[in-house]
Structure 1
Amino acid sequence: MRHPNADSTGRRLRLVLIADPGLPSEIARNLSRRLPEHLRRRIGRGIRWQVDTVTEPLVADEQADVSGLAEIVEARGQDGDWDIGVFLTDLPRRAARNPVSTEVDPERRIALISLPALGSRRLPRRVRQAVVDVVRQLTAQDEEPLDSPVVGRPAPSEESKRERYVVPGLRGHVRLVLGMVRANRPWRLFTSLSRAMAGVFATAAVGFLNNTTWRISTTLGISQLTVIAVLSTLALTGWIIIDHGLWERAEELPDTHASLYPYNLVTLLTIGLGVFFLYTTLFVTLVAVSFLVVPSAVFGNITQHAVDASDYATLSWFVTSTSMIGGAFGTGLENAEEVRDAAYGQRHRRRQRKLTEARDRDRDK
């Protein structure tokens, strides 16, 4: 049971951060250590803050009402003895096409903060500021509605008891997309796909020791190498998305599904960045070992000119680009579910499973 008057009659308040698994849970745990200090500094009044964290998967509905979240958590057996509840989710939320960053229910003293609407830069700091802002409002420290660069602007709400805050315009949509990509953690994509990694490095090893490759690489200019690099990364990105059915199509989704935006865009950026991180890792590795495995005398004899560091760099660049083909063959051997697990955060994976189940039910009707 929550104690709505604890801050006026006593001097201890318990704030519970209830977070989705994955990135929100990590941020909540790190935030809880110093949050009491920030609350005392910003709110004052001699309140002693107890901050606890709970990891609990929240609902998968994009338009879920913040007022129903307390019952969802308590129904699953979580401790309901808290004064203020703040939910952290990586679920993207929108109101009239504007990304929703925060939703507050002052009567029940709960708030929902959607991490994607806060963007990707300095996310822990922005989450901390958003939490402090909503706690100030829930403890009646701010009579006026929130309006800050982090939580955004007040938005009209059909429910008078709820207060929604949106980040409108282009800035809000850029924040939303980048925040969703951040939650997917694209830099971890290929470290989880062993067959793709094996295909890339096997192709690189073969090409790196081929004297035909040496000749071709030294005849290519910067513009040609750049075009080859871009085309190879785009080709591998497209192959992964198409081969494993990651691109969502409206005709394959349930009738009740919301707009595809921004999910396909997030998929494209997530896979594209994952391929880019793989490309960069392979290039740096090849440059590092090129001087050891390719003797300059042999290299110069094959290319018919004295070689220098730039020749080794262009060789590594060209081999990295051609090795993306091996990555495509490797990802083709991966299980589709394994690719989704590697490419997406937990929220996106749960959402895709829900859509798959809904599609299957529609087909059975």
Structure 2
Amino acid sequence: MTQTIKVGLVAAPGVSKNIATHIQDDLSNELAQHISQDVEWKIEIVADPLTGSAENVTEIFQTISNYQKTNEWQYTIGLTDLPLFKNNKVIAIDVNRDNGASLISVPAYGWRPVKKRIKSSIIGVVEEVNKYQPNKHNAEQSADKDRAQQQTEDKDQSQSSEERLTHQFPLSNLEAHTDFLEDTNSKHRRYFVSSKAKGMIRLLSGMTFANNPLNMVSSISNVLAVAFTTGASAIIFTTLWNLSYLYTEWRLFLMMIVSVLGMMLWIIIAHNLWEPIRHSKDKRITKLYNFTTVSTLTIALIFYYILLFTFFLLASLVVLPPGYLGSSMQLGGSATASTYLNLAWFASSISTVAAAIGAGLNNAELILESTYGYRQKQRYKQIKQQERQREKEEEDVEERGNS
């Protein structure tokens, strides 16, 4: 009878859960290929809000350890979308050497290709746990092996797991350190991004990816519609043509920056997206959340502006014939491509300002869900609701027992 090895993935809701679900089938096959083909690898996924809300890693390790005991998982890996630090260095992987419970910080893996790296890291973590808890999945078979042969295999596995975990990124590697954590009363093998600067850049890009900027694009579709309607009615007037022709590219560029920043400030202020730093328990984390909100909005608004610019360019090409536009602007000939580009550029900036003032968001909830601070609050609320529900069920059981 084939032995079944259960690997549990405790993922934070959202991006981390999606990654776990996406790699579930491939992970079973790759574990069989890299670890052992003599067993059946079963991947089980649990979504837990605490994995994505507890800024103290001790609580996360306690949670995933409880899942490990309850579900009788041989290997347990938590996938969090929270940033992890030690001495200003970004932690990508944290392995508890005593019980094998491990934690992977998804944002530390950057923008792309996250799924491939996470899958490789999980395989490396399983190999790493086997170093500290030898023959965990194959104790009976290993007992009969020659001791020298077993030592050689352990050494090869040690080199394999270390290399797999440290060589994740093309421009910088991870470096491993062993620390004793008093909170968990155990030794941890931690993998840091070797460069502080590169680690922060990768972390910010990963946190921005976790925020899913495309959600914000869909939520500002109503603003896009208002902006295009406002600008479309203005491109038939000669004032807009003449100003777009007179303005230099630098002035048009400056107007674009001002209009996009104005839109960003309006969204942040109108929806209280800025996390107050003064009363924050961890100012560094709060600053990261705010910076990530800005970077997410920036990407979303770049997409918005490109779409709006494309619409105006197509509209001006359809509505305004080159000969008529050139004669009306006294160009001495037909309008050129640069004339249309500048006109669309100018109309996009002007209409963005008007839309930011007068338009509402199509789905404000999507904007809020695309920020770390809001997700944290929602997850804490969900945890408290679960605790109240659990307490109520226990009280009901106790009342029925007394009666």
Q: TM-score, normalised by structure 2?
A: 0.76
Match of 1:64 in 2: 57
SS in 2 for 1:121: coil
C-alpha contact (below 8 Å) 2:97/2:187 kept by paired residues? yes
1:104-115 alignment to 2 at 5 Å? 104-115=95-106
SS at match of 2:56: coil
Whole-Å separation in 2 of the counterparts to 1:203 and 1:352:
37
Out of 330, 342, 345, the position equivalent to 1:314 is 342
Q: Determine whether 1:248 maps to 2:275.
A: yes
Alignment of 1:58-97 (within 5 A): 58-59=50-51, 60-65=53-58, 66-70=60-64, 73=67, 80-97=71-88
Select 1:217's aligned residue among 244, 268, 282: 244
- Distance in 2 of aligned mates of 1:327 and 1:166: 45
Contact 1:200 1:330 in 2 (8 A): no
- Contact in 2 for aligned 1:84/1:109 (Cα 8 Å): yes
CA 1:122/1:233 → structure 2, altered by over 3 Å: closer, same or farther? same
* Displacement of 1:58: 2.5
Aligned to 2:352: 324
**Alpha-carbon deviation of 1:48?**
2.4
Q: How many angstroms apart in 1 are the aligned matches of 2:380 and 2:103?
A: 24
> What is the Cα deviation at residue 178 of structure 1?
0.8
Map 1:1-365 onto structure 2 (within 5 A): 11-44=3-36, 46-59=38-51, 60-65=53-58, 66-70=60-64, 73=67, 80-140=71-131, 142-143=157-158, 146=162, 148-150=166-168, 152-159=174-181, 160-168=186-194, 169-251=196-278, 253-254=279-280, 256-259=281-284, 260-305=286-331, 306-330=334-358, 333-334=360-361, 339=364, 341-342=366-367, 344-345=369-370, 347-352=372-377
Cα shift readout 1:161-193 (whole Å, capped 9, x = no counterpart): 322222141111111111101111113313113
Q: Quick one: distance in 1 between partners of 2:226 and 2:303?
A: 16
Larger fraction in helix: 2
Alpha-carbon separation, structure 1, partners of 2:238 and 2:351: 16
The alignment's TM-score, normalised by the length of structure 1, stands at: 0.83
Distance 2:376 2:35 in 1: 37
- Write the letter of the residue equivalent to 2:61: S
Answer whether contact 1:180 1:266 (CA < 8 A) is retained: yes
Compared with structure 1, are the counterparts of its residues 321 and 177 closer, same or farther at alpha carbon in structure 2 (3 Å cutoff)? same
Question: Counterpart of 2:353 in structure 1: which amino acid?
Answer: I
Report how far residue 258 of structure 1 moved: 4.2
Larger gyration radius, structure 1 or structure 2: 2
* Percent identity of equivalent pairs: 26
Aligned residues: 341
Q: How far off its partner does 1:324 sit? A: 1.5
2:323, 2:74 → 1: CA distance?
74
* 1:105-139 per-position Cα deviation (integer Å, ceiling 9, x unaligned): 23323211111111112111111111111111123
